[in-house]
Amino acid sequence: MTELRNQSVRDLLTNAKKASKTLARAERNAALRAMQARLLEAEPEILRQNAVDVQQERQRGTGEALLDRLTLTGARLREVAQGIEQVIALPDPLGRTLDGWRHPKGMQIEKVSVPLGVIGVIYESRPNVTVDAAVLCLKAGSAPVLRGSASALNTNRVLVRAMRLGLRDVGLPEDAVTLIDSADRASVTELLEARGLVDLVIPRGGAGLIQHVVTHAKVPVIETGVGNCHLYVHRDADLEMALNILLNGKTQRPGVCNALETLLVDREIAPVFVPLAVRALRSAGVEVRGDEDARMYAPGVEAASDTDWESEFLDLILALRVVDGLSGALEHIARYGSQHSEAIVTSSLHSAREFQESVDAAAVYVNASTRFTDGFEFGFGAEIGISTQKMHARGPMGLAEMVTYQYRVTGEGQIR
């Protein structure tokens, strides 16, 4: 078994690139099954190494929420293994004829899905991402190069070792899954600059990580996961529906990117809806920060600062603003939105259309919760992240977006 620890990033990437070339035509599902078996077999060692990581972080004074994200248990590991099962069951995204036609001179042109090659994944503490991301990349025929956080290094090492053993079991090159085994920031820079070796980098984590990757990368990047999502309640809204969608968006899982961060209320219904909403939010334990108009209708609400409009709270906090109709809402969203998910509640067909056609975001909802922006909810079976950019993939990024295509032209001697 090759040790990853003493190899330069450039060598790792060169080996990954070479290994990636075998994947399109390999039995990738068999490899995933072998990896699953090796991961389950390695459970005692994985939990032991994870305990080392958790212990180290505890000694550094890391908070309980982060420690929980870092911790693996037997149950969580079996969930991860179950996730592999689900990916195996998904249709192969490669070799699909996406389009095809005949050239007037008689050649057949086919547009066929093919692998990207090497996909770098840079992520934060959750070690389950190590397996989830690797498995999705392999299913899509690309070799993952993983760079997790320093705090999970012992766990990630043993997870990757198990996956590489699985690859070897089915005769595939181990280097089809690679860990950058270094806590050094320079290794991230090397990955981000390796043009020709890395076909795509996906950062998964907070806004800081994503910003760093985007500004330093010389290889293609897909930005994921920053969501400053708004709900606009139009004057013609069903107010009970609006309350339900509001509470679902803010409280069902506040720490995720498709959760609501700001509520925009039409001035015409503000006297009725603002007090209703604030009461319901408070009962659900949500801190509300409002603009002056909102505070007029709901005394006791804290004043929102300018930064609140820009904030992805990822917490039980909501910014609240009274706006002048649809155009006021569109203006606010254009200024502060992160092009992730935006919603309107309205019974007006005209306003619904206007909202969907005017808002520049990956997913635009009419009378439904922003919480649905998710690869599983969209029926993609799995997702590597939610893209907030416009090139290549927008919104939930599943296997279909983790590949590229090529044109295959077959003729009988045609020339121009």
SS (H, E, C) 164-225: HHHHHHCCCCHHHCEECCCCCHHHHHHHHHCCCCCCEEEEECCHHHHHHHHHHCCCCECCEC
Q: Which is nearer to a copy of itself, 59 or 215 (CB)?
A: 215
Q: Which is nearer to a copy of itself, 163 or 201 (CB)?
A: 201
The amino acid sitting at 339 is Q
10 binds a copy of itself (CB under 8 A): no
Nearest approach, Cβ of 345 to a copy of itself (angstroms)?
A: 8
Residue from 365, 382, 385, 397 touching a copy of itself (CB under 8 A): that is: 365
Nearest approach, Cβ of 117 to a copy of itself (angstroms)?
A: 7
Q: Which stretch binds a copy of itself (CB under 8 A): 55-63, 111-119, 273-281, 314-322?
A: 111-119
180 binds a copy of itself (CB under 8 A): no
416 binds a copy of itself (CB under 8 A): yes
H or E segment at 247? Answer: helix 239-251
Supply 183's token pair: 């806590």
Q: Mask: binding to a copy of itself, 292-331, rule CB under 8 A, as x and -?
A: ----------------------------------------
Residue from 30, 107, 284, 316 touching a copy of itself (CB under 8 A): that is: 107
277 binds a copy of itself (CB under 8 A): no
Q: Which stretch binds a copy of itself (CB under 8 A): 129-137, 161-169, 279-287, 351-359?
A: 351-359
Partner residues linked to 289 by β-bridges: 302, 319
Report the distance separating Cα 383 and Cα 227, nearest Å: 16
Q: Is 320 left (phi over 0), alpha (psi -120 to 50) or beta?
A: beta
Q: Which is nearer to a copy of itself, 118 or 264 (CB)?
A: 118
Q: Give first-to-last CA distance, the chain, whole Å.
A: 52
Task: List the beta strands (DSSP E) in 255-305.
Answer: 260-266, 287-290, 302-303
28 binds a copy of itself (CB under 8 A): no
Report the distance separating Cα 102 and Cα 409, nearest Å: 9
Q: Which is nearer to a copy of itself, 289 or 371 (CB)?
A: 371
363 binds a copy of itself (CB under 8 A): yes
Q: What burial class does residue 227 get, using C-beta atoms within 10 Å of its C-beta: 0-12 exposed, 13-18 middle, 19+ buried?
A: buried
Report the distance separating Cα 313 and Cα 23, nearest Å: 41
Q: Which is nearer to a copy of itself, 67 or 241 (CB)?
A: 241
Q: How many residues does the chain have?
A: 416
Residue from 245, 265, 301, 318 touching a copy of itself (CB under 8 A): that is: 245
Asked if residue 191 lies in contact with residue 147, where contact means CB atoms within 8 angstroms, the answer is yes
Q: With contacts defined by CB under 8 A, how many residues of the chain interact with a copy of itself?
A: 65
Residue from 6, 59, 215, 307 touching a copy of itself (CB under 8 A): that is: 215
Residue from 8, 11, 25, 271 touching a copy of itself (CB under 8 A): that is: 25
Report the distance separating Cα 49 and Cα 347, nearest Å: 55
Residues of this chain that bind a copy of itself (CB under 8 A):
21, 24-25, 101, 103, 107, 109, 114, 116-117, 195, 199-200, 214-215, 218, 220, 222, 238, 241, 244-245, 248-249, 252, 334, 352, 356-358, 360-369, 371-373, 377-379, 389-392, 394-395, 404-416
